[in-house]
């Protein structure tokens, strides 16, 4: 397998083509951004931590029967992944109120949500990732009914698997976002699952161990990610 041309450069990851048209190289960089790219910094070791964290989590999900994009680790900051036709919506599950739902609905941060809420957002930084619903998704042709239902099913399955994993590590899985794509017409989990795209709190102290440390200027971002990795049994 030979890495070739840069295909896409996001805020914290770069995607490269390979000599196999069905495989890509996903590179995790040290770039860290918030507020749709308005705040950007370089954090040492972050690319390595997120790459290995993502591979570990995706392996856990694969073992639970959830199809993912990840094939294997290539290096400290690169993974080999399946090429997907990405669906341009994010699937968000919230187990505890935090972030935008607190601002939008005026609820108290930390309120347990029973049942967990599910939300769709259009993946579009220029529009600040607006919330959409299933009617928008179908009307604009972003996904059909069967794919929408499968994304929802898989997103809640991820919640079942990862809530237990993090709970056993003394952590609360507050919320997270997922992105999906299609491979031969099948819905597959793509992009990443790292502390960049979820919220994780210590069960006892409610200390934040995710990218909110960067958003809120709390410091110790990579150290928090490494602490989560250690607790779930990941050796970096």
Q: What is the pLDDT of residues 142-198, one digit of tens each?
A: 999 999 999 999 999 999 999 999 999 999 999 999 999 999 999 999 999 999 999
Q: In this structure, is residue 20 part of a structural domain?
A: yes
Q: State the CATH number of the domain containing residue 72.
A: 3.30.200.20
In degrees to the nearest 10, what's the CA dihedral of 147, 153, 164, 191? 10
Task: Please give the model's pTM, rounded to 2 decimal places.
Answer: 0.96
CA-to-CA separations, 232 to 37, 162, 190, 211, 227, in angstroms, rounded:
29, 10, 21, 18, 9
Q: Are residues 66 and 123 in the same domain?
A: no
Q: Are residues 162 and 191 in the same domain?
A: yes
Q: Are residues 74 and 163 in the same domain?
A: no
Distance from C-alpha of 107 to C-alpha of 127, rounded to nearest angstrom:
24
Residue-range definition of the domain harbouring residue 110: 85-220
Q: Are residues 171 and 78 in the same domain?
A: no
Q: In this structure, is residue 38 part of a structural domain?
A: yes
Q: Are residues 58 and 170 in the same domain?
A: no
Would you say 216 and 200 are in contact if contact means Cβ atoms under 8 Å apart? no
pLDDT digits (tens, 9 = 90+) for 105-151: 999 999 999 999 999 999 998 999 999 999 999 999 999 999 999 99
Number of folded domains that form the chain: 2
Q: In this structure, is residue 225 part of a structural domain?
A: no
Q: Are residues 74 and 101 in the same domain?
A: no
Q: Which helix H or strand E contains 78, and what residues bound it?
A: strand 78-82
Q: Are residues 172 and 158 in the same domain?
A: yes
């Amino acid at each position: 397998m030979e890495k070739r041309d840069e295909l896409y450069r996001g805020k914290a990851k770069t995607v490269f083509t390979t000599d196999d048209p069905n495989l890509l190289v996903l590179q995790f960089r040290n770039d860290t951004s918030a507020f749709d790219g308005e705040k950007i910094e370089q954090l040492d070791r972050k690319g390595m931590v997120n790459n290995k964290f993502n591979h570990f989590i995706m392996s856990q999900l694969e073992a639970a029967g959830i199809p993912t994009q990840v094939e294997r680790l290539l290096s400290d900051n690169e993974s080999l992944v399946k090429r997907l036709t990405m669906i341009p919506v994010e699937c968000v599950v919230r187990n505890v109120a935090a972030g935008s739902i607190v601002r939008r609905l005026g609820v108290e941060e930390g309120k347990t949500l029973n049942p967990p809420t599910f939300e769709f957002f259009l993946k579009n930084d220029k529009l600040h990732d607006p919330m959409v619903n299933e009617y928008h998704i179908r009307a604009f042709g972003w996904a059909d009914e069967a794919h929408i239902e499968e994304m929802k099913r898989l997103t809640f399955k991820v919640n079942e698997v990862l809530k237990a994993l993090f709970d056993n590590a003394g952590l609360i899985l507050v919320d997270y976002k997922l992105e999906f794509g299609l491979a031969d017409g099948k819905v597959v989990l793509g992009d990443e699952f790292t502390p960049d795209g979820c919220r994780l709190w210590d069960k006892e102290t409610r200390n934040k161990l995710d990218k909110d440390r960067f958003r809120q200027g709390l410091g110790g971002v990579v150290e928090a990610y490494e602490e989560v990795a250690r607790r779930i049994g990941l050796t970096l």
